[in-house]
A = this chain, B = another copy of it.
Amino acid sequence: MISFESDYIAGAHPALLKKLTETNLESLTGYGNDPYCESARQKIRAACACPEAEVFFLVGGTQTNSVVISSMLQEYEGVLSAQTGHINTHEAGAIENTGHKVLSLPQTQGKVSARSLKQYLQDFYQDANHEHSVFPGMLYLSHPTEYGTLYSKQELQDLSCLCRSHGISLFLDGARLGYGLMSQNTDVSLSDIAALCDVFYIGGTKVGALCGEAVVFPRHNMPRHFLTIAKRHGALLAKGRLLGIQFDALFTDNLYFDIGSHAIHMAEQLKQIFRENKIPFYLESPTNQQFVILENGQLEQLKKNVLFSFWEKLDENRTIVRFVTSWSTTQNDLDALAQAIAAIQHE
């Protein structure tokens, strides 16, 4: 059965597996101190146009969010997030497990606006009792968001500016960053992100790696003893090579960006299939996650031949579902999908 269930349904991009195999018997020191980790760090610095950046490899997204957020917040601070943000909804309370509150901001299509952030900050500091409340210490964004949407450069600049003027760190969750950077509708580059954020990560797990996220601190602002902090969260890999080798491969010969481009190309074809079959979109997403509205009969038919994700019920008769492309999506997958959809249209 063809699957558009997520961007982590396949193993690793073959180039990564190849490099893991080639280097397999080399004897390397552990915990991220091997030459492949160092090489990957250098390549990431270059890609970010940020030669002084500190780069640390962690294993997965939820882990990265909780280690980064808790290490950068003061005890009396919480993290601001879109109400629909991953840390606020689908991470099983991992942030609260570190003792910090997720402070919810209103959102539109998964995005927060400088306007609503400004309002939040104004209300907070006007409250005579704000010392009895959690201080906003960080803004968490995901780019692409949970809904596949992207911030424009102007939007990021406005948020960044507001954060800096209030002493709030800006953290960008880039679990799907590769797909965001290669969207046809973005003016945001990796170096823009490095310039505007205080910390961000370049997602590996959803962009071709078996696992791994590269956290980037662009301005010598990695929390002191970050390795110890990661260990304390159970996030330090003994065989750090597993992460270093994969990111070294991802940032060799433009692979990370090529993976992104391929998935975007597939997503654009996928959008065309839905459009041609008059299946409406829930929202306009410029990346590899596409949300469409199926009538319940269509949904039942389609799921006999295709795997995709249930998102939420729109009403009694219609359901929002998600289709995702990735580096592993093939033209065959799309052709089969086109057939399957055409079939349900004609029943």
Contact = CB atoms under 8 A, between A and B. Distances in A.
Nearest to A16: B24
A67 B132 contact: no
Contact of A92 (B76, B93, B127): B76
A26 B10 contact: yes
Interface string A227-238: 111011111111
A111 interface: no
B241 A93 contact: no
Interface in A87-137: 89-94, 96-97, 99-102, 104, 126-129, 131-135
Contacts of A91: 132, 231-232
Interface stretch (A55-63, A269-277, A336-344): A55-63
Contacts of A234: 59-60, 62-67, 94, 233-235
Contacts of A126: 313
A241 B21 CA distance: 18
A6 interface: yes
A150 interface: no
Contacts of A235: 63, 234
The count of identical subunits is 4
A239 interface: yes
Nearest to A209: B239
Interface string A67-81: 100110011101000
SS class of chain A's interface: helix, strand, loop or mixed? loop
A284 to B, nearest CB: 24
Nearest to A18: B21
A99 B229 CA distance: 12
A23 interface: yes
A5 B27 CA distance: 9
A54 to B, nearest CB: 15
A210 B307 CA distance: 30
A35 interface: no
Contact of A29 (B9, B62, B225): B9
21 contacts: A11-B25, A11-B241, A60-B236, A62-B234, A62-B236, A63-B235, A65-B234, A75-B232, A76-B224, A76-B232, A89-B133, A92-B131, A93-B101, A94-B231, A99-B99, A128-B309, A131-B227, A206-B238, A210-B242, A211-B238, A234-B235
Given A25-B328, A76-B228, A94-B232, 9 more contacts: A11-B20, A60-B236, A92-B132, A92-B232, A93-B100, A96-B96, A210-B242, A211-B211, A211-B237
